[in-house]
Structure 1
Amino acid sequence: MWALGAWVLLGAVCAGSAQLQFNAIKSVEKTICNKTVILPCIVTNLAQKGIRAMFVKWKLEKNEFFSFDGSTEETHRNKNFSSAVLESVQNLSLGSASLSISKTQAVPGNYSCEVTESNREGETVIELIYRVEPWFPQVESIFIILFLVCAILFYWIQLGVTVSKGTTFQENIGLILAGIIISVVAVVGFILLVLDGFEPKNQAGLGLIVLPAVILVPLQYFLLKIVFKNNLLLFEILVVVLESLGYLIAVIGFALCITACPPKNGAVVIAGLAIMALMAVVGLIYMIALGSCKKDQPPKKAVEEPLNDAKGVMLE
């Protein structure tokens, strides 16, 4: 009886030794920033550790799409997975049968890796999950949108103050049309930016937010010029210069972010737009405070005429 038990135990041990074992990796994630996806497949108990004794097969939902024959070192792949390659053929003898696939061809689903070493074989299953997320972190997107909205909003308030102080019909039409254009373009940019993904539409969204913002710089100059009757002082010129600097910083940030995923210089874009919004606030306060003072001052001629009349009476 004991002999039968020993034989069963020995058979179980031998059967176990014929089964290849893998690192337990249940799933991997694909994000918008991945250029390639690595599907891990690591064998932990190879015996011969030679490529020629190995055969690797990958399947998606039980449909084979890739195989590698170590004895001939030949690779076969499905045309829908033309980018699929072993991550490292040299490391195959060490147990690494991981597969690299381009982001566009790596379809979410359950992938199975089958590895054979002579008369031993094994299989592991890895789920590929696509994690949907926006290009910019949510906080950065909020600040980018917020500061440009503030800059545009304060422009409209400045325009209202300017109109109240008296402007020509042509000036009103031009300033209103410019405000409408920058507002509409900005809204389109906001929508494209916050869409999930890192695609040309997202890059175009950031471009529509940053690049047309240059319109706000000459508009700030014209509003100040109208309010102060073409007599711009050093402070008014400084406001326009600083707003131009803010725009330049935003454009530099845009150039640094446009091809990066995740964007590492979103703070530069935010800083530039923040300076533009701040200068719009300063311009508005200055326009209300000092613009009203200038309006209340009586014209120079109106003061001189009574004085001249008084002098004439005294001479008589």
Structure 2
Amino acid sequence: MWSLGAWVLLGAVCAGSAQLQFNVIKSVEKTVCNKTVILPCIVTNLAQNNTKVMFVKWKLEKRVFFSFDGSVESIHRISNFSSAKLESLQNLRLGIASLSISQTQAVPGNYSCEVTESNREGETVIELIYRIVSWFTPVENILIILSLVLAILFYWIQLAVTVLKFETTLQKKIVFIIAGVIITIVAVVGFSLLVSDEFKPQNQAGLGLIVLPAVILVPLEYILLQIVFENKLPPFAIGVVFLQSVGYFIAVIGFALCITACPPKKGALVIAGLAIMALIGVVGLIYVILMGSSKKDQVPRKAVEEPLNDAKGVMLE
């Protein structure tokens, strides 16, 4: 009776030792920003730590697409998974049988990793989930668009005030209007390309159409202030143009850092640069309005002085 119990217990122990155990990871995510996808498979109770006695098999929905035979150090994979490879062949003896696959070939689904060490084996299942992500966050998209919209809006208002209160040629008015229409249309196209539910190359083109053409606002601001001050800009007006140039260069630097990253990590620079341009647009607008008001006040004074001078001349006669 005791011998029978001991035999059953010994059989249970042997059966347990024949089973490889894994770090349980139920799922991993991939996004359009991933260049490669790592499917984790880590055995925690290897006994021999020798790749020569190991065999690794990866399956997608029970279909084998990758295998490694340690006894001959050979790898077999199907064509649909030509990029599949063990994450670290050197660490396989430590139980790391994780698989690396390119983003384009990593199909969402249930993957199983089967590892054999001599007469011991085990299997773990990982689900690969595809998660949709946008390039910028919704808040960043809103701030980028809002900053440029305000910068363009303040330009149009400043143009209207300048044309109404200061003398300028018809040719310059036409140039100002054409330039404003161009940057407005380009910005609208950029907005439509930038915003999408999922990152696409068109998002990068949209950001380029938003940031790069904004340079037009800098010379336009300079020329408008030239009209106000009749080509003799005071230091304050020069500072306005300089700060707007600084804002543009900050936005361009942010664009250059964002264009190659997914997700972009320097979106704050783009927002800061465009926001500076919008803020300086407000300052320039207020300055032009104040100068226009002072000029308007001077006209009635001159008009009153002329009749008084005429009346004095008549009295002297």
TM-score by length of 2: 0.89
TM-superposed CA distance for 1:87, in Å, is 0.8
On the 8 A contact 1:80/1:105 being kept in 2, the answer is yes
Matched residue, 2:264: 263
Q: Say whether residues 1:82 and 2:82 are aligned partners.
A: yes
1:32-111 mapped onto 2 (5 Å cutoff): 32-111=32-111
On the 8 A contact 1:60/1:110 being kept in 2, the answer is yes
Q: Say whether residues 1:287 and 2:288 are aligned partners.
A: yes
Matched residue, 1:137: 137
Task: Give distance in 2, aligned partners of 1:52 and 1:253.
Answer: 51
Percent sequence identity over aligned pairs:
78
On the 8 A contact 2:228/2:291 being kept in 1, the answer is no
CA RMSD of aligned residues (A): 2.7
Letter in 2 for 1:288: I
Moved more, 220-229 or 245-254: 220-229
Letter in 2 for 1:125: V
Task: Give distance in 2, aligned partners of 1:92 and 1:244.
Answer: 56
TM-superposed CA distance for 1:143, in Å, is 2.1
Matched residue, 2:237: 236
Could you report, residue by residue, the CA deviation over 1:46-92 in whole angstroms, capped at 9, with x for unpaired residues? 12221111111111122211111101111111222111111111111
Task: Give distance in 1, aligned partners of 2:201 and 2:184.
Answer: 22
Matched residue, 1:208: 209
SS in 2 for 1:19: coil
Letter in 1 for 2:95: G
Any stretches of 5+ residues in structure 1 without a counterpart? none
Could you report, residue by residue, the CA deviation over 1:277-308 in whole angstroms, capped at 9, with x for unpaired residues? 11100011111112121133239997896688
Could you report, residue by residue, the CA deviation over 1:172-195 in whole angstroms, capped at 9, with x for unpaired residues? 433233222212222222232232
TM-superposed CA distance for 1:130, in Å, is 2.1
TM-superposed CA distance for 1:127, in Å, is 0.9
Could you report, residue by residue, the CA deviation over 1:217-276 in whole angstroms, capped at 9, with x for unpaired residues? 122223333344445333222211211121111112211222123333222222211110
SS in 2 for 1:280: helix
Matched residue, 2:297: 296
Task: Give distance in 1, aligned partners of 2:70 and 2:135.
Answer: 41
Task: Give distance in 1, aligned partners of 2:182 and 2:2.
Answer: 92
Moved more, 67-76 or 15-24: 15-24
Moved more, 130-139 or 239-248: 130-139
On the 8 A contact 2:228/2:288 being kept in 1, the answer is yes
TM-score by length of 1: 0.89
Tell me the number of residue pairs that the alignment of Structure 1 and Structure 2 aligns.
316
SS in 1 for 2:68: strand
Letter in 2 for 1:155: Y
Task: Give distance in 1, aligned partners of 2:294 and 2:206.
Answer: 42
On the 8 A contact 1:32/1:135 being kept in 2, the answer is no
Task: Give distance in 2, aligned partners of 1:33 and 1:193.
Answer: 16
TM-superposed CA distance for 1:135, in Å, is 1.9
Moved more, 278-287 or 100-109: 100-109
SS in 1 for 2:208: helix
On the 8 A contact 1:56/1:115 being kept in 2, the answer is yes
Task: Give distance in 1, aligned partners of 2:152 and 2:232.
Answer: 25
Moved more, 221-230 or 33-42: 221-230
On the 8 A contact 1:110/1:126 being kept in 2, the answer is yes
